[in-house]
Structure 1
Amino acid sequence: IGSLRFEVAQPADWMGDWDATRPRSSCIQPGDVDSAASSEDCLYLNIFSPAAVRERVPVLVFFFNPSANQSPGLLDASALAAMGNIIVVTASYRTAALGFLSTGGLRGNYGLSDQEAVLHWVNAHIYLVGGDKSRVTVGAERHGADVASLHLLSSSPLLS
Structure 2
Amino acid sequence: MRAALTVLYRAAEFLGAVFLVLIGVLIVSQVFARMIGRMVPGADELAGYCMAASFFLMLGPALRRGAHIRVGVLIERLRGGARKGMELACLLFATALSGYFAWFWLRMTYDSYDFGDLGQGVLPIPLWIPQAAMAVGLVILVVALLDDLLAVLMGRPASYESAGMQSEG
* Fold-level similarity (TM above 0.5): no
Q: Which has the higher helix share?
A: 2
Structure with more relative contact order (C-alpha pairs < 8 Å, separation 6 or more): 2
Larger radius of gyration: 2
TM-score, normalised with respect to structure 2 = 0.27
TM-score (norm. length: structure 1): 0.28
Which is strand-richer, 1 or 2? 1
